[in-house]
Structures are given as C-alpha cells and as structure tokens.
Structure 1
C-alpha cells in the first residue's frame, strides 16, 4: 500500500512539474516575441477531453489569461489573441517585428478552441538546403517560436546529422578524408541525406560538423520546450561506396544517376538483408540519441527518386520489415515517418499492390505517411487511405524557394475540409512540406489555421482578417487589394518550376524547363490594380506590409516582362532592328527596376544570403567555399549546363541585376548582332556562352548589399507611374497553353 502511495505521489509530482514547465516555456515565448505585452499575459494549465489540444483565452484583472492543455496549445492561443484582437501578424522572418496597440485589447467573454487533429507537421528535407542552410541560432530561435504560434508540433529536425554519421563511419573503419569527402557541400546535404548524390561540392569542413552539432542540440531542446516532437533521421541504407573496401562481401550497389549528375556522384545502397545493416542502424541511433535525445519518431526514406533493387512486392515488404525492426531493436518505442513523395513522384512504378505490401509490412500505427503534395495529388484517395496506416495531409506549395505569387486558397480549403470529413479515422494531422519558404506566407498560415477549424472556413472572411492584421487595422483600400489577390494570384494552384520569365534562361520563345510559369489565370492589369491600392497607403504600416508591396510589384513587373520579350521576338521575326533595340532596352531597364524594388526589402537581398553563408566560415578559405556553395544552389544548382539549372531560382536584389539581367543582356546583344549581320540567331552557340557566364558567376566574389536600400513606397509609386499605362494598354503575357 505504501509503495502504491509513493508511486502515486511521484506520478502527481511529474504532472505538476510538466505543467510548471509548460507555463514557464509559454512565458518565455511571449517575452521573446512580444516583450512589451509579456507581463500582461498570464498562462495557466487546463485538461483536455481527448488527445487533441485545446486553449481558452479571456480577460481578467487587466490581464489576458491564456489556458492550454499543452504549451503548444498556449502558443496557439497567444497567436489567436494577437491576430484577432491586436490585429498583428507574427512573421516567419525575424526582422519583421510585430507592431502592437499601445493599450492591451480586452476580450469580451471567453474564447475556447480545440484542435481538429493531433499532429501538425512542418518542413521538407529540401527546406534545409533552399532556406535554412546558413541559419544560426538567432534565426532558428525566431522560427521555432513562429512554428509554436502556428501550432506545429511535429517538425522535421535533421540538422547536424553529419556529425553523428562521422562518428559512425569512423567506427566502421573509414578515414577522416573518406568521410568528409563522402558528404556534399552544405547547401546540398538534403539530397545527400535522401540518397540522391554523394561527394558533390565536398569535402565538408570539420568546423561545419561541429557548428551544426551544437546548433541541433539547441534546436531540439527548444522544440521540446515548446511541446514539439522533433522528427529525427534513421538509417535507410545509404552508405559510402568506400565501405566496400572494409567490407568486401557487403551487398552495396549504386542507386544510379540522379537528375543528370555524372556517375561519380552516385549514391550507394546497402541491401537491408545484409548482416551489416542492423549494426549500422544501432550505431547511428545510439550516437544520435546520446547527442540529441529522442521522441521516438524517425524520418526514414529509402528509394526517394531512385529505383529500388527490385519492384517485387515481396521484396519491398521485406525491406520495410527490416528497416522497421532495425529501429525497434535499438528503440522499442520507434515509430516510422515515411515521405509519401515517392508514391507520387514514381506513381507509374509504385502501384497499389506495391504500396500496400510496403505499408502492411509495418504494424498498424507504427508507420505514418506524409501525403506530400496534396495541393496536386491526394494519394490517400488512390490507396484506400494508405490501407489504414496513419497519414498527414500536406500542402507543398513551393519548389526550390521560387519567388512566385501562387496558391489556390479556395481549392486548398475544399481539399482539406473533404479530407477531415471523408479521409478516414487514420487521418491524424495536417502539415506542410514546402521545399523553400519565405514566399506566399498566406498559404502556410491558412493551412495551419485550418487545423483549428471545425467545419468549412469562409475563405473571403479569412483573407479579409489576414489583410487587417497585415496593415494593423481595418482599411478598405487594403481589403480591396487583398480581394483582388485572392481572385488572381491566389486562385491558381502552385507547382513545380514557377517563376516569371525574368528568371528564365533567355530565348526567343517559351520558358526554360524550371521556369515554365504555367498559364497565368488572371489579367496582369488586375494585379496592377492591387499593387496600386497597396501603394496608396500613407504613414508607416508594419514591415510585413512592405513585403507585400514589394512582392506584388515584383510579380506585376515580371508578368509584363513576357510582353516585352514577345515584342522583341516579333521585331526579330520582322527584321525590325529599331524595334528590336527599343524592346531589348526596355527589357533590360525593367530588370534594373525590379532589382531596385527588391533592394528595399531585407528579405529580398542576395547580399544577405551570401553574407550569412560567409559568416559560418572560420577562415577566408571556408568563407569563399561557402559563398560559392550558396551561389550555386540558387543558380546552376549542379554541374554547369546540366538538368537542374534554375530549379531554385528566386527574385533577389543583386541576383536580378547581375545574374538574370546579365544573361538577358548577352541574349539581347547576340540577337541584335545576328540581325545586323543578316544571319539567324544561333541557339546552340548562345547556350554555350550562357553556360560559361553562369559558371563564372558562381565563382565571383562581388559584394552585394546586405541591408535594404531606398524607400519601398516611394520606389513602388515611381514604378507604377512608369509602367501602369504600358501594362493597362499592353497584351496578356504569352505563356504556354495560351
């Protein structure tokens, strides 16, 4: 009896301790995000009737009281108050600080909200290359707070794993040079982790390993403080080719070339049936747990964009069984989180029979699937809801960090609501798998807000509320602008290869493959009107509002560039040299103007991207190495002239003026010269010249501004005056499909 009593007391003390920690973490979050209000916000614990989170907010004794059953719920409650009562938006950019009313707004009555699902996932392996490569703790700290405020409780946490693998491969007999040369350059580590490429842009410096190891410790500690369950990696079979020199009988095979890379960058796969597989898994999980702890959820993704050794359903089932058992033999509580991207990306091979065999091989509830690209294809509908395994509905929305205003809010609402109603009891959450963020914030905040809805959401009202907090108060002009945006840029689906023609490799017709810009389903004159409305505002609205002005203006100018290019081509076809020169000059002038607009915003600067990369270097050699890595990933991507050039294109000040405009100037000059010489423009000769230019640019050391230049509103109004008449009287951009 006495033993039972002490067990009960211990159990009670544990609960009280956890509740105290929740309140402390919530208070510290408020202090970091809204320090001027923090002493007016009180947090308390409440119980929930189910596994789903719940919060309550109300005013009491001149304070705002926020209650939640978890610190994550408390954070969402805080964000609900800031959005709906303070009319402020907490941006995912740490430089965009919220603007709060001078007096703390009062809540009438009590607000209570319960989450509609238990899991809210965020991130993609690729995000760690396209967005987060050069982040330091100050960036991560703000971002983790943003995730908490938006209710995310299952973030992908793959930073620092190379330091763990370094220790593992040392145990298995490889040398320092062999291991660091096996890794890729920093920006390319996501694709190394996904077994796509080895060696490219390596070897990885020791200082990088040490820096990222310590950074990951801080990341997972803070995520857990805020009620999140970090998803850590596990071994899926990817090994160094040189492991064969130590274990000549091991079944190690090449996974083949990936995205046009030379075969010297191939990745290698250890057959899960090989006796070496489980010892490697154990060594990795042991080392990782010692360094980072564990929440027992592991992202494990064999065969991502590569071909398995066999497509036989029985083979795929056996692979699945062995990977799962290799995890549970080290961590009996292990759960497997699998990217559903493979089922979409290789849908011709991943038949239902093969998917079912692969999923059924793991006990029900022990493997969860990220339905990765639901804004395009909802795989749950094609697989009988993943044959009973839990799954998470995910919005992808952006590939490579492309700077394109796009996303279909109303269609996302329809799909999410339908999944909540008809997706089966094993639908356990929502999430986003964006490859790069920083663009289209409205889409991602909407997706995570939907996790707290109960029934359909009125999208028009939601966007009206969004516009209110972007400006800081209700404003009819801003509301009209956002109504236009809802029915133009945010009425068509996002997708792969999205960019305006400004960012494409130059040509007389069409777009480059990674800047295809599928048919714009709106009139650019309507988007111009939204830009004009946003630019009419006087005074000093919040900095998030300035980002919108720049983003809309950039999109309008980018759309109009297609008109100028097509006029240029028309003049070439008619052998009109004067018209050719006039339109060529106009194209180059527009690129200068776009760069000038982008330069007014901290979040649109190439200089910031490069400077943050250089800051991680411990000496000049490393700084130069990181800079070249940073330049490559957003331009040529891989080997010169290969398949992925421009995949990660984005509109940044400095990049637009020197790289994109540089390419278009080469093109304009060559086409003009060919017309002057009465000869046809030579595409193949120009392509060679273009590849040389791109390669040289990645090796450059030019300095770019890392702080904003100019007044966003003044420059925006000036450009509207310059281009409005032309756009209003011009033609629709000519795009594929029109």
Structure 2
C-alpha cells in the first residue's frame, strides 16, 4: 500500500510545484518585459493561500515579492513601483517607464490582501474607441498593465468575427453575405452589442484571420497571468440573409418597431435581426458558436451576453422577459455545464422602463450564482441601491468615467473612494468586486487605477493616496507638488460631467447653449478661474516626468477650451446685437486660439491623432486596404454614421491634427457664414449650414484632406507662453 501512496504523493507534489513555478515564471517574465534593466533585482515566491494577497520585503539588494498567484505578484510589483520607486506604468506601450537609479529598500514585511475576488475591465465600446488598431505589442503591454492593477476578469472579444464566420458558413451563408453583415473594424463593438450591421462592410477576410491569431495570443497571456477572459456568447443577433434560407425562424428586425439604433439613413440596411430565444434554432446556434470558440480560444466558462443593449425587448411583460432570460441561460448551459452569464447593467439604467419587476424576472432567468451583473455607471447612479442589490445575483461596482473618448477633466476620486467603501460594507454577500467600464482610454488614467486599488486592503486614506500620486507624477516628494495636485483633484471632482462636450470639438451652432456641469448645474465660469490658477501653479513645478507633462497639457487644454467657450458666448451675443465689428474681432481671436490649442496638444502623444491614423493604416496590406482602415478610423471620431444626427461628434477628441484639420476649418466655415449673414442683413440659416457642414464632414471622414501635425515642443515652455498670452492681463487669474 505504501508503495502506491508514495508515488501518488510525489506526483501531486510535483504538479503543485509546477503550478507554483508557472506563477513565478510568469511574474518574472512580466517584470523582464517592463523593467529589463532592473528585472534581476526582483525575486518572486509562491504563497499557498486561496485568498488573493501579496507580500513585499527586501533581502540584501533584492526585492522579494510573494503572492498566491502571478496576478497577485504583479499587483505587489506595481505597489512597490508606485509607492517606493514613484514610478507610473502607463497603459500605453510607448509611454516611458521612469525608474530610480537605486531601488529603495522595504522596511520589514508588507502583507496586503484583496478585499474582493473579482476585478473587471473594459467595455465593448473600448474596442472601437481605443483598441481597434492594436497589434500584439500594444496588447502585450496592456495585459501586463491589467495584471499590475489586479484585473482578473477582462472582457476579451477580439477575433469574435472569425468564429461567427465559421458558424454562418455552416448554416449555408456565402463569404460575401457574412463579411457584409459585419461592420468596419472600429464599429465592431456595436455589432457585437447587437446594435448595427453592415456599416463600413464588407469586412476584409484578412482582418478576420489576423484578429483570430491575435486573440489566441491575448487569451493565452491573460490566462498566464491568472485572468479569466470573458468571452462572448450568442444573444440572438443573426444575419438577415439567414432568413432567406430559413424563413420560418422566429426573428424580428429592429426597424420593425423602432427607427433603428444610431439614427442611420436607410436603417433597413444597418438594423439588426434578432432570433427569439424560444426558437429551437437559438440553442443550436449557441452550441455551435461556443464549441467553435472553445476550440480556437479555450474557455473559462464566463460569457458576456447582452440581449437588450439599448434596444427594446420584444415584450415588456415581466413573465415573458423571465421566460426569454431562462431560455437564453438554458442555451448556455446546454453548451457548457459550467456557464456563468455576465451582463452589462447599463441598459437597465439607460432604459427607464426596466422597473424592479422586469429586472427581477430577467435576473432570475439564471440559477443563483450563475449570473454576474456589472453595475455600470456607479460614479453617477448605483443600481444596487435601487434594485435590492440585483435581487440576489452576483454583481460588481464599476467606474465608467468616459464616453466616446471625450477629453474632459473628469476623475471623481472622492466618489470612487467612498462609494466603493460603502458597497463593501452594505452591498450584501453577492457583491463580488469592482471594475471599470470605460468607453475609451482617457488622460485621467489614475481614476481607473484607484478603482482597481480599492479591491485591495491598502493602508491609505484618500488624501494620502492623492499625495502619493503627486509624488510619483513629479518623481519626488514635494510639498509644492502635493499642494498643486490637491487643487487639481478639486477641479477633477467638481467637473463631474462625462457627457459634457467642449465647444471646440462640437459642431458650431447658434442653438448651442452654455454647457452645464452634472447635477449641480454649475456653469463653466466658477471653475474657469480655478483652472487657470491651477495651470499656472502646475507649470511652476517644471518636472521632467511623463505623467506630469501629460497632466500639464491636460489642464492647459481644458483652460483653453473653457476660454474658447467664453469667446463663443460673446460672439453669439454680438451676433444677436448685429455687431459686425465685434464679431470679426472675436472670430479672429477664436481661430487664433484654436491654432494655439493644437500646438499645446502636440506637446504629448496622448493628445495627437497621429498614432490613431498610423496604426489604422498599419493594418492594410495594400494602398486600398490602408485607405479603407483610415476611413473607418476617421469616421468613428467625427461623423460616426451617415446622417446629420446627435451621434455625430460623439467620440470627439482633443487631438493635435484633428483640431487643425477638422475642428478649425469647421469653425472657420461657421464664422464666415454667420459674418456674411449679418453683413447682408439676414438671419443665419442654421439648417442649411448644418447640411453644408455635414457634407464637408463626410468628405473628411471619407479620407479627403491630408492631416498635418504640429512639431512636438516642451509643454512647460508652451504653457508659459500661452498663460502669458491669454491670462496675464487680469489679476483674477493670478
């Protein structure tokens, strides 16, 4: 008997040791990628505990980082980098990693545990507004960033179309029918959310193949770092062409009962077709898709599936909604006995008819513990407080923070800090974690880092956390920097308005009103003076860290944008008074300011259009393909659709190049037209101008006009010059 037990024990011991070795190897490999010069100074060790935790200590000239897995070890490494080395790792691969010459010592042993098991990241929209043109180098760095910040549930939907291509071919659809059903690359997030078909299709077959190969690398690396990729599942969205072959399917076109999502012209071309979950074919398609996906990408049994995202369900009867939900989950379970259904709760916030009765019916379509809800926009409204904590199903608190990639100073760190503490205390046993559902990456990266840090039992108050962020953004402990950043955070918390756009990046219109700031309805003026004083104070720091330079450009950008708003309101008043001389003077000032705005943006690559266009064209193998990808990239950040609608400029960007070649000419057109109307003694024809402007915008989106970029300059020098130019003559700015 002993001769049998001993080999079994040795085999089990070897397996456990191998797993521990994998964690250490993967954490070490991450460190070599990020810190090739210092990697040999870090030692990793496995801690055999179930709960996520990390430890830090120094041994001689080595920093020893322990963790229960590679993900926890990465969090420990990031803690050391931030709070000992004053080093910020950006989510962009090309931003510098600035390290001290000598690694600081850790006094004693630091031991920190996770407060919650789940840490989610990404949004379907992020794949359109930030990541459509990424290659493996971008993804490799970003996955490392996610590990450093403890993410273990990333939304992983790259390459989805290659799986659907195989499935729909199996159902008899042609190559052209399938690729024409897909949208262009930047719009695939909305295709995956069942909002639009065909826009900028057909999708090149080379794109499908390259994205499948990319996804295999992505999920492999995510799993190496102890993440569970959230893969997509079938929500009922089918090609309209399928009905030609199977006319008896229980299917509905969105435009049968709506004007169509996104207000496209000819919605019948771009509207989606939905298969009812009660149709027997639904479960078969689900099975075919999940099996093919598992063959190509594996599975961790967590599936993102959002059947009603921003579209109406076929019925508002609660019992029927519950039956639809039950059939959807049963289709998942039939294909994967361990399936867990993850849903965005955005639509249950966005569509007001989702009352308690309907939500309860929907959530109870899956067994308890087999559904995870993402409370999507918690810095604004927390659904868990209004729907009895999702009626017992597991849920996560998420910071959204960004719509469409708009560049505003929005980072409500006080709300994030306090609300996460509250949900930890009062959210119930089914509260499982935190995450970020950002629509696009934005310059206020630290708000997302704070959200993910709050998943760990970190020994910092909010003022302490803010001080430490100031330290690492300027690279030293500085009272002046801490005071300046304290003022920065006051501005960031006041300007809580992710939906608000700046006037610069919005289509000019005499109907535009002064923007409002969130629920407080404060106009721009009360914060404008604070912004200018902050910009002056930040400029005086004159640090050489990349994070500081980004902050400086971001603050100056907002100050100039708010000044432009003031000039615009004066121009509008002068128009109403028919004061042609004042209008001409203000027009000259506004266009001159836009040139300076573009110059300031060119001081940091985060605020440049060049990487967006260059990376899009980089996917093309021919000149025709390069132009196709650039057209897709231009369209999503300008016109978005093919109609003069509210969705235009949704993804407006404060980007050098885009300002000089799109926003400035558009304002010049408007100013010229309004000046001419007053000069001729007639009323400005707003509707005629809007049509003319949209025709010009479409030409730009379709690739007309070469984009030029300002030469990079030192942001401190540029800031000093612009502060002197625009804000030196009034004591109120000092």
SS in 2 for 1:488: helix
Q: Residue 389 of structure 2 corresponds to which residue in structure 1?
A: 385
Q: Residue 482 of structure 2 corresponds to which residue in structure 1?
A: 479
Deviation at residue 512 of structure 1 after TM alignment? 9.9
Tell me, yes or no, if the aligned pair for 1:405 and 1:489 is still in contact at 8 Å: yes
Deviation at residue 474 of structure 1 after TM alignment? 1.3
Q: Residue 348 of structure 2 corresponds to which residue in structure 1?
A: 343
Select which of 307, 312, 316 maps to 1:307.
312
Distance verdict in 2 for CA 1:201–1:512, change over 3 Å: farther
How many angstroms apart in 1 are the aligned matches of 2:250 and 2:7? Answer: 54
TM-score (norm: length of structure 2)? 0.96
Q: Residue 208 of structure 1 corresponds to which residue in structure 2?
A: 207
How many angstroms apart in 1 are the aligned matches of 2:513 and 2:294? Answer: 47
Q: Residue 735 of structure 1 corresponds to which residue in structure 2?
A: none
Deviation at residue 702 of structure 1 after TM alignment? 3.6
* 1:430 corresponds to 2:434: yes
Deviation at residue 326 of structure 1 after TM alignment? 1.3
Deviation at residue 13 of structure 1 after TM alignment? 2.5
How many angstroms apart in 1 are the aligned matches of 2:361 and 2:730? Answer: 55
SS in 2 for 1:680: coil
* 1:294 corresponds to 2:299: yes
How many angstroms apart in 2 are the aligned matches of 1:687 and 1:171? Answer: 46
Select which of 324, 330, 337 maps to 2:329.
324
Q: Which region of structure 1 is more displaced relative to structure 2, 714-723 or 183-192?
A: 714-723
Deviation at residue 726 of structure 1 after TM alignment? 5.7
Deviation at residue 519 of structure 1 after TM alignment? 3.8
Deviation at residue 320 of structure 1 after TM alignment? 1.6
TM-score (norm: length of structure 1)? 0.95
Tell me, yes or no, if the aligned pair for 1:515 and 1:647 is still in contact at 8 Å: no
Tell me, yes or no, if the aligned pair for 1:509 and 1:566 is still in contact at 8 Å: no
Tell me, yes or no, if the aligned pair for 1:501 and 1:515 is still in contact at 8 Å: no
Tell me, yes or no, if the aligned pair for 2:661 and 2:707 is still in contact at 8 Å: no
Where does 1:464-613 land on structure 2 (aligned, <5 Å)?
464-496=467-499, 498-511=500-513, 519-520=522-523, 522-538=526-542, 541-613=544-616
Deviation at residue 730 of structure 1 after TM alignment? 8.6
How many angstroms apart in 2 are the aligned matches of 1:558 and 1:384? Answer: 42
Deviation at residue 415 of structure 1 after TM alignment? 1.2
How many angstroms apart in 2 are the aligned matches of 1:340 and 1:525? Answer: 38
Deviation at residue 596 of structure 1 after TM alignment? 0.5
* 1:74 corresponds to 2:73: yes
Tell me, yes or no, if the aligned pair for 2:229 and 2:300 is still in contact at 8 Å: yes
How many angstroms apart in 2 are the aligned matches of 1:358 and 1:303? Answer: 11
Residue segments in structure 2 that go unaligned for 5+ positions in a row: none
Q: Which region of structure 1 is more displaced relative to structure 2, 626-635 or 411-420?
A: 411-420
Distance verdict in 2 for CA 1:325–1:423, change over 3 Å: same
How many angstroms apart in 2 are the aligned matches of 1:58 and 1:391? Answer: 35
Where does 1:31-50 land on structure 2 (aligned, <5 Å)?
31-48=32-49
Q: Residue 696 of structure 1 corresponds to which residue in structure 2?
A: 699
How many angstroms apart in 2 are the aligned matches of 1:5 and 1:254? Answer: 64
SS in 2 for 1:502: coil
Select which of 422, 433, 442 maps to 2:446.
442
How many angstroms apart in 2 are the aligned matches of 1:179 and 1:728? Answer: 64
Tell me, yes or no, if the aligned pair for 2:45 and 2:67 is still in contact at 8 Å: yes
Deviation at residue 593 of structure 1 after TM alignment? 0.4
Deviation at residue 510 of structure 1 after TM alignment? 2.7
Tell me, yes or no, if the aligned pair for 1:407 and 1:494 is still in contact at 8 Å: no
How many angstroms apart in 1 are the aligned matches of 2:568 and 2:462? Answer: 36
SS in 2 for 1:649: coil
How many angstroms apart in 1 are the aligned matches of 2:72 and 2:411? Answer: 27
Aligned length: 725
SS in 2 for 1:373: coil
How many angstroms apart in 1 are the aligned matches of 2:641 and 2:512? Answer: 23
Deviation at residue 515 of structure 1 after TM alignment? 11
Q: Residue 241 of structure 1 corresponds to which residue in structure 2?
A: 240
Distance verdict in 2 for CA 1:657–1:610, change over 3 Å: same
Q: Which region of structure 1 is more displaced relative to structure 2, 63-72 or 564-573?
A: 564-573
Q: Residue 26 of structure 2 corresponds to which residue in structure 1?
A: 25
Select which of 681, 685, 702 maps to 1:682.
685
Q: Residue 125 of structure 1 corresponds to which residue in structure 2?
A: 124
Tell me, yes or no, if the aligned pair for 1:546 and 1:601 is still in contact at 8 Å: yes
Distance verdict in 2 for CA 1:647–1:267, change over 3 Å: same
* 1:658 corresponds to 2:653: no
Q: Residue 736 of structure 1 corresponds to which residue in structure 2?
A: none
Tell me, yes or no, if the aligned pair for 1:601 and 1:708 is still in contact at 8 Å: no
SS in 2 for 1:276: helix
How many angstroms apart in 2 are the aligned matches of 1:284 and 1:638? Answer: 29
Tell me, yes or no, if the aligned pair for 1:368 and 1:389 is still in contact at 8 Å: yes
Tell me, yes or no, if the aligned pair for 1:44 and 1:65 is still in contact at 8 Å: yes
Where does 1:43-442 land on structure 2 (aligned, <5 Å)?
43-48=44-49, 51-256=50-255, 257-261=260-264, 262-346=267-351, 348-442=352-446
Q: Which region of structure 1 is more displaced relative to structure 2, 249-258 or 207-216?
A: 249-258
Distance verdict in 2 for CA 1:405–1:728, change over 3 Å: farther
How many angstroms apart in 2 are the aligned matches of 1:248 and 1:150? Answer: 49
What CA deviation, in whole Å up to 9, does each residue of 1:216-243 have, x standing for no partner? 0111111111111100001111100111
Q: Which region of structure 1 is more displaced relative to structure 2, 168-177 or 374-383?
A: 374-383
Deviation at residue 492 of structure 1 after TM alignment? 3.8
How many angstroms apart in 2 are the aligned matches of 1:32 and 1:520? Answer: 46
How many angstroms apart in 1 are the aligned matches of 2:536 and 2:733? Answer: 17
Q: Which region of structure 1 is more displaced relative to structure 2, 145-154 or 509-518?
A: 509-518
Tell me, yes or no, if the aligned pair for 1:634 and 1:646 is still in contact at 8 Å: yes
Tell me, yes or no, if the aligned pair for 1:481 and 1:529 is still in contact at 8 Å: no
Tell me, yes or no, if the aligned pair for 1:196 and 1:258 is still in contact at 8 Å: yes
Distance verdict in 2 for CA 1:176–1:71, change over 3 Å: same
Distance verdict in 2 for CA 1:618–1:469, change over 3 Å: same
Tell me, yes or no, if the aligned pair for 2:373 and 2:396 is still in contact at 8 Å: yes
SS in 1 for 2:280: coil
Deviation at residue 624 of structure 1 after TM alignment? 0.6
How many angstroms apart in 2 are the aligned matches of 1:260 and 1:134? Answer: 26
How many angstroms apart in 1 are the aligned matches of 2:391 and 2:6? Answer: 44
Where does 1:609-648 land on structure 2 (aligned, <5 Å)?
609-648=612-651
How many angstroms apart in 2 are the aligned matches of 1:381 and 1:291? Answer: 40
Tell me, yes or no, if the aligned pair for 1:312 and 1:354 is still in contact at 8 Å: yes
SS in 1 for 2:716: helix
Distance verdict in 2 for CA 1:706–1:92, change over 3 Å: farther
What CA deviation, in whole Å up to 9, does each residue of 1:131-179 have, x standing for no partner? 0010011111111111110111110000000000000000000000000
SS in 1 for 2:199: coil
How many angstroms apart in 1 are the aligned matches of 2:625 and 2:557? Answer: 34
How many angstroms apart in 2 are the aligned matches of 1:721 and 1:694? Answer: 34
How many angstroms apart in 1 are the aligned matches of 2:261 and 2:516? Answer: 16
How many angstroms apart in 2 are the aligned matches of 1:707 and 1:719? Answer: 16
Tell me, yes or no, if the aligned pair for 1:126 and 1:191 is still in contact at 8 Å: yes
How many angstroms apart in 1 are the aligned matches of 2:199 and 2:5? Answer: 59
Q: Which region of structure 1 is more displaced relative to structure 2, 709-718 or 289-298?
A: 709-718
How many angstroms apart in 1 are the aligned matches of 2:730 and 2:318? Answer: 56
Residue segments in structure 1 that go unaligned for 5+ positions in a row: 732-738
How many angstroms apart in 2 are the aligned matches of 1:149 and 1:465? Answer: 17
How many angstroms apart in 2 are the aligned matches of 1:292 and 1:564? Answer: 54
